[in-house]
């Protein structure tokens, strides 16, 4: 007897990008209350939790290209929320959250919490937990080297 198996239909990348856009709009709606975009909130959160750290390490933890990280840090530096200083040698740099950045991240975290609770309510906590587990597993399988998974930020 042949066992029925579920086969993927369509493009995984397209579906993930569509989901990402919908979820990003959801979080952006809430995090905007703190004057942030979700990308800015995430970046601030990583630096607050892990900093001070080198930009290359930050990019690796965030699974982000260094050039994208540099571009995303610029407005946060301009706002005075992040500071980029000289590192151990003349060629290295270190990123730190300023006191204003830590305060902004805390404000963003309160807005993020509302967004997360609203998403849990819309989708159901079981579905959200299953999605987190699946995403973490996929990230671990596909990522180059060790990193921080999303479940460490909740």
Tell me the pLDDT tens digit for each residue of 92-126.
899 999 999 999 999 999 999 999 999 999 999 99
Its pTM surpasses 0.85: no
Which helix (H) or strand (E) segment is 60 a member of? helix 55-61
Tell me the pLDDT tens digit for each residue of 26-65.
999 999 999 999 999 999 999 999 989 999 999 999 989 9
Domains of the chain, CATH where assigned: 24-143 (1.10.10.10)
pLDDT at 151 over 50: no
Q: Mapping DSSP to helix (H, G, I), strand (E, B) and coil, where does residue 135 land?
A: helix
Characterize 29-54 residue by residue with b for buried, 16 or more Cβ atoms within 10 angstroms of its Cβ, and e for exposed: ebbeebebbbbbbbbbbbbbeebebe
Query: How sure is the predictor about 91, in pLDDT bands with cuts at 50, 70 and 90?
Result: confident
Contact 69, 60 (CB under 8 A): no
Tell me the pLDDT tens digit for each residue of 121-131.
999 999 999 99
């Amino acid at each position: 007897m042949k066992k029925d198996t579920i086969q993927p239909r369509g493009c995984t990348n397209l579906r993930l990008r569509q989901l990402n856009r919908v979820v990003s709009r959801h979080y952006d709606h809430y995090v905007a209350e703190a004057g942030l975009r979700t990308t800015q909130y995430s970046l601030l959160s990583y630096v607050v939790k892990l900093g001070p750290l080198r930009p290359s390490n930050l990019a690796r933890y965030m699974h982000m290209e260094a050039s994208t990280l540099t571009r995303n840090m610029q407005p946060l530096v301009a706002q005075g929320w992040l500071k980029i200083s000289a590192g151990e040698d003349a060629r290295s740099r270190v990123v730190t959250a300023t006191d204003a950045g830590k305060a902004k991240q805390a404000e963003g975290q309160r807005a993020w919490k509302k967004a997360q609770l609203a998403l849990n309510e819309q989708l159901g906590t079981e579905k959200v937990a299953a999605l987190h587990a699946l995403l973490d597993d996929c990230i671990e399988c596909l990522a180059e080297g060790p990193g921080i998974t999303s479940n460490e930020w909740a």
